[in-house]
């Protein structure tokens, strides 16, 4: 009989025991990493709530969802359904058919797209011709977004470092 994956009748009990502990140890390591990641994610969610308010995490998740064509379609359908329900409830709702159309000029959109890419921390990758006005606007927006992102990171780090220090306390002072 040929041994197949998961079928260990062809190996000794000693070898099976060794494999068991190899897999057990890896499982324990991965579970500990998962617990640590879950705790870090919970703490991150608390920080987002403190910084951005009750809907901050929802905004982040929606933003990520909207970056895909499927997510965008799902969002538009959900908004249409909610607008319809609001109308039925008697709320005045702007039901413009083109409410999702971006009517901004292309150079404004190029700057905004570049700024968003910079804020996300994306590597510079200009979708426009570098020598065109739109390409230069994208680059200007990307640089602006990067500057804002780095300024925000520095500010958060400064806040965190002042939160960690208790004024007047010397951690190296003897308690005696």
- For the chain, domain boundaries: 104-162
Distance (Å, rounded) from C-alpha 6 to C-alpha 107?
A: 59
More confident residue, 134 or 5: 134
Highest mean pLDDT among 30-39, 110-119, 126-135: 30-39
Distance (Å, rounded) from C-alpha 117 to C-alpha 129?
A: 16
Neighbours of 132 (CB within 10 A): 14
| Contacts with 1 (C-beta within 8 Å, 6 or more apart), sequence order | 9, 10
Distance (Å, rounded) from C-alpha 110 to C-alpha 129?
A: 11
Per-residue b/e over 142-156, b at no fewer than 16 CB within 10 Å?
beebbeeeeeeeeee
- State residue 101's pLDDT score: 59
- What are the tens digits of pLDDT across the range 37-93? 999 999 999 999 999 999 999 999 999 999 999 999 999 999 999 888 887 777 777
Q: What is the mean pLDDT of residues 113-136?
A: 91
Q: What is the mean pLDDT of residues 147-175?
A: 71
More confident residue, 31 or 149: 31
């Amino acid at each position: 009989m040929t041994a197949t994956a998961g079928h260990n009748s062809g190996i000794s009990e000693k070898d099976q025991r060794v494999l068991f502990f190899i897999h057990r140890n890896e499982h324990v390591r991965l579970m500990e990493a998962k617990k640590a990641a879950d705790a870090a994610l919970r703490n991150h969610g608390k920080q987002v709530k403190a910084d951005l308010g009750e809907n901050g995490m929802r905004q982040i998740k929606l933003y990520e969802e909207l970056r895909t064509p499927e997510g965008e379609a799902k969002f538009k359908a959900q908004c249409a359904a909610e607008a319809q329900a609001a109308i039925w409830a008697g709320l005045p709702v702007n039901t413009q058919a083109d409410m999702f159309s971006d009517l901004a000029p292309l150079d404004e959109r190029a700057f905004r797209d570049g700024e968003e890419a910079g804020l996300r921390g994306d590597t510079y990758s200009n979708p426009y011709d570098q020598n065109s006005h739109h390409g230069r606007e994208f680059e200007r927006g990307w640089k602006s977004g990067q500057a804002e992102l780095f300024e925000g990171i520095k500010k958060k780090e400064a806040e965190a470092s002042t939160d960690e220090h208790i004024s007047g306390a010397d951690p190296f002072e003897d308690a005696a």
